[in-house]
Structure 1
Amino acid sequence: MNHFTGIRTVAVPVADQDRALDFYVHTLGFVTELDAPLPQLGGRWLVVAPPGGGTSIALIPATDAFPAGTDTGIRLATDDAAAAHAALTGQGVIADALLNWPGVPPMFTFYDPDHNKLFAGQS
C-alpha cells in the first residue's frame, strides 16, 4: 500500500539563510512560504517555492553532516531554458553552458551562493 501522495519539500543546506533567501527570492523569483525561528537547527525553518509551484525548498542551516556546496539533484522546470540561462548569467549567477542536444529538451546547471548545484530544464 502506498502511504505517500507527493513530494512536499526538499532541503538545501546553506551557510547564510538571509543570503540564500535573497538569491532564491530576488534572483530565481521564488516566493517565501514560511520563515519561522527554529533554534533546534541553529536558525530558521525557511521555505521557498516557485510561484504557484507544488514542491518547495527548505533553506536549512548547513552542518558538518549536511554541508553547503552539494549537488542537490533538484531539477527546476522552465518554459524557455535559453532565456532562463541568459537571465541568470546576466545577473552574475555561475552557470554551466546551455546543453541543447538533439531530441532532448534544453537544460543547464547553475549554482546558488553556497555553490549548491541546481539544474534547469525546459518543460
Structure 2
Amino acid sequence: MTRSTVTPTTVTDIGVVMFTVSNQDAALAFYTEKLGFEVRGDSRFGENGEHRWLEVAPPGSRARLALNPPMGNQPGGSGIGVETPDVLAEHKRLSALGVDVDPEPMRTPGAPLLFMMRDPDGNHIAVVEVPTAG
C-alpha cells in the first residue's frame, strides 16, 4: 500500500499509559504519597459500580497513568492509550485497514469513549476520546 492511499491518522497524542495493578488503593497511595502525583480521575462505572477508572499524573503533565486491575482476573502486561478527538472516525479507519479492533467503541458512563486494538504481537492499545475541558 502506498502512502498516498492511506487515510491520515486522527491520533494526536499518547495520552494515557495503563498499568495493571493488584490493588488500586495501594497503587493510588504509592503514586500520590510516594511519587507526588495528583489524581486526575477517579470514578466508578459498570452496572453496580464494580469497575473503577483511576488516573494519576505528575503535576502539570498532559499524559496520565491509568491504574487498572487485571482484566478477567488474569495478570497481564502494561498497555498504552492514545488519544483522538474522534474515536468513531479512528475506529472506522483502522477497521478498514484490517487492524484487530473491538467490534464497536465502548460507551460506558464514567469512562471515556474508547476501543481497544491489538498489534500483531497481541499488545493492547486503547484508543481514547480526548477528554473535554470542564
TM-score normalised to structure 2 length: 0.46
Structure of higher CA gyration radius: 2
